Amino acid sequence: MNKIDAIKKEVKKIIVGQEELVDSLLVGLIANGHILVEGVPGLAKTTAINAIAKALGIEFKRIQFTPDLLPSDVTGTEIYNPKSGEFSVKQGPIFTNLLLADEINRAPAKVQAALLEVMQERQVTIADTTFKIDEPFLVMATENPVEQEGTYRLPEAQLDRFMLKVLVGYNTLEEEMEIVERVAIKGFEEVEAVASVEDLNEIRSAFKEMHVDDAIKKYMTQIIFATRSPKDYGCEEVADYIEFGASPRASIDLYKASCAVALIRGNDFVTPLDIAYIASSVLRHRIILNYKAQANNITTDDVVKKILENIKAP
């Protein structure tokens, strides 16, 4: 059993179903990206990232975002010592390996912006000192799709920094029965550390060696370009619904995420199936739709589906 399978096996001790969420977290860790998760409370989002941290033996911290949160509550601050007359830096919860930013849209823009530097540059500036964040580092932010009163919508510039946006739904009836039996009767099994940071670095090395054929590269790029100029790629059906297409960062993330998916599946090359599996997660938060789409109940997932149907896979 390889290390990726061993990690997934440990996570499944306490997570029933939610395959896409677990895969997305692994993709983020392997490809060095961040994850935005949307779902109602109680769907094991916190449990999933905590389980992966335990399986890898790395540090996990959680921040509950609220309207009264300050940027220093996330990054840290300088504290004055009256005895010595000097300031010392107290690092915030952002100094960790896996960070859960729970209900990120409940905090105002200034607090959300505190995450921008660390997500992009892997560093934090407190006063006039800049600190590097230890690898691996992944932010999993969550949004609650209900109770939107008093929330602060994430700006497009910040959304674009998330490699994937995952929609987490309810479990099936059978899965829910298993959850009840495990929690109420047996209790959760203990998640053991079956891999290390060194193992993750080896996996990342294999990820960098993934073979991506030129035809596959062209296919990925065509998908991104079809979000910007749908009519040029035979996607007239969705052309009237798109305000803005995906950014160049989407091309990079689709490439990296597809490689990570192929690696998780045990391959050393990328196929169109890997791209199709992850394309919606890469693009759903990057395509901006207009009022016509809202009027016709068209979602970004509908748009991505149409694009994948119209562009011929190699």
Peptide bond into 155 cis (omega under 30): no
Residue from 276, 290, 199, 188 nearest 245 by CA: 290
CB atoms within 10 A of CB 230: 22
Mean pLDDT to the nearest integer, 297-303: 90
CA–CA distances in Å: residue 290 to residues 3, 223, 275, 293, 295: 44, 20, 26, 6, 9
pLDDT grade for 47, boundaries at 50, 70 and 90: confident
Burial class (CB in 10 A: 0-12, 13-18, 19+), 301: middle
pLDDT higher than threshold 90 for residue 251: yes
Q: How many helices, marked H, and strands, marked E, lie in the chain?
A: 14, 11
- pTM, two decimals, is 0.88
Mean pLDDT to the nearest integer, 277-306: 91
**Domains of the chain by residue range:** 3-186, 210-310
Per-residue confidence (pLDDT) for residue 235, from 0 to 100: 83
Mean pLDDT to the nearest integer, 125-154: 81
The first and second tokens of residue 78, run together, are 């300088």
CA–CA distances in Å: residue 172 to residues 37, 125, 278: 19, 45, 22
pLDDT grade for 150, boundaries at 50, 70 and 90: low
Q: Using one digit for the tens of pLDDT, what is the confidence trace for 76-121?
A: 888 888 888 788 888 889 999 999 999 888 888 888 888 888 888 8
Assess whether the region 3-186 and the region 210-310 belong to the same CATH fold. no
Burial class (CB in 10 A: 0-12, 13-18, 19+), 204: middle
pLDDT higher than threshold 90 for residue 169: no
Is residue 24 within 8 Å of residue 35, measured between CB atoms? yes
Q: Using one digit for the tens of pLDDT, what is the confidence trace for 172-226?
A: 788 788 777 777 766 677 888 888 889 898 999 999 999 999 999 999 999 999 9
Per-residue confidence (pLDDT) for residue 185, from 0 to 100: 66
Is residue 71 within 8 Å of residue 114, measured between CB atoms? yes
Per-residue confidence (pLDDT) for residue 281, from 0 to 100: 94
d(C-alpha 54, C-alpha 194), whole Å: 9
Mean pLDDT to the nearest integer, 282-291: 91
**Is CATH 1.10.10.60 correct for 210-310?**
no
Per-residue confidence (pLDDT) for residue 147, from 0 to 100: 65
Mean pLDDT to the nearest integer, 155-177: 84
DSSP three-state, residue 184:
helix
Mean pLDDT to the nearest integer, 240-265: 92
Give the helix/strand (H/E) hosting 283.
helix 272-283
Q: Which residue has the tokens 């939610």?
A: 18
d(C-alpha 4, C-alpha 218), whole Å: 29
d(C-alpha 75, C-alpha 90), whole Å: 9
pLDDT higher than threshold 60 for residue 273: yes
Peptide bond into 230 cis (omega under 30): no
pLDDT grade for 162, boundaries at 50, 70 and 90: very high
pLDDT, averaged across the chain: 86
Q: Which of 9-13, 18-22, 85-89, 241-245 has the highest mean pLDDT?
A: 241-245
Is residue 78 within 8 Å of residue 89, measured between CB atoms? yes
Q: Using one digit for the tens of pLDDT, what is the confidence trace for 53-71?
A: 988 889 999 999 888 888 8
pLDDT higher than threshold 60 for residue 1: no
Identify the architecture of domain 3-186 in CATH.
Answer: 3-Layer(aba) Sandwich (3.40)
Per-residue confidence (pLDDT) for residue 274, from 0 to 100: 93
Per-residue confidence (pLDDT) for residue 107, from 0 to 100: 85
pLDDT grade for 28, boundaries at 50, 70 and 90: very high
